[in-house]
Amino acid sequence: MPTPLPLDERLERAGQLVVRARIFYDLWFTFEDAKTHSATVDVTERFGAFFAFDPHAHFVAFVVHIAALFERRYGTINLQGLAKEAKEAILIPAQAAEIDALFDEAAPLVSKVTLLRSNLFAHRSATLPYDAVFKKANVTADQLRDLTDIALKIVNRLLLARGLRDHMFNYMPLEEAKAILEALKCPR
């Protein structure tokens, strides 16, 4: 069996993956939202092919990233595995209870995201129509954003406990997406 990367390196990578997941979420939400706001509907209609597919691509990337961060598969970089390893090595005694509480808070949302990932994106269900999977998942955009907040809290608790730098969400891609929408506006 191959030796995993050092724990600190995997924690750093998990932090980067959480930040990346949030970027995908922000871009998806911004472009989807633009389709319904009168200030940007001209842009989304003018570039209809782009706005039909790009927001979806960001959403798929978000779901795959965030679901992977919360899975429990051995041999992957996931928050559950990293926390378990840190607990077993008694590296986070003071943070263990807080991290467990964050996982408990995330659990209902993780099951919803996993449902989307497993039935729509990583695997396409042969029995459930696309819309039925969303109905079954019963998840809101706010809940998806909240899951990224919880993931960042978990990974930051682990990073700080190891004496590593914590991570922050990167809003530059979101600001650039908004600037693109603004630059593409055409007068009515």
pLDDT for 52-74, tens place per residue?
899 999 999 999 999 999 998 88
Beta-carbon contacts of 117 under 8 Å, excluding residues fewer than 6 positions away, are 63, 64, 67
Tokens of 3: 């030796």
Q: How far apart are CA 66 and CA 144, in angstroms?
A: 9
CB atoms within 10 A of CB 120: 18
DSSP 8-class letter at 4: P
pLDDT class of 35 with cuts at 50, 70, 90: confident
CB atoms within 10 A of CB 141: 13
pLDDT tens-digit readout, 164-174:
999 999 999 99
Q: Tell me what the mean pLDDT of segment 118-138 comes to.
A: 87
Given a contact cutoff of 8 angstroms between Cβ atoms, the answer to whether 155 and 19 are in contact is: no
pLDDT of residue 158: 94
Tokens of 23: 């970027």
pLDDT tens-digit readout, 153-163:
999 999 998 89
pLDDT of residue 110: 97
- H or E stretch covering 130: helix 130-137
- H or E stretch covering 127: none
Amino acid letter, 9: E
The pLDDT > 70 percentage for the chain reads 98
Residue 93: exposure state from Cβ atoms within 10 A (0-12, 13-18, ≥19): exposed
Q: Tell me what the mean pLDDT of segment 67-94 comes to.
A: 89
Given a contact cutoff of 8 angstroms between Cβ atoms, the answer to whether 155 and 14 are in contact is: yes
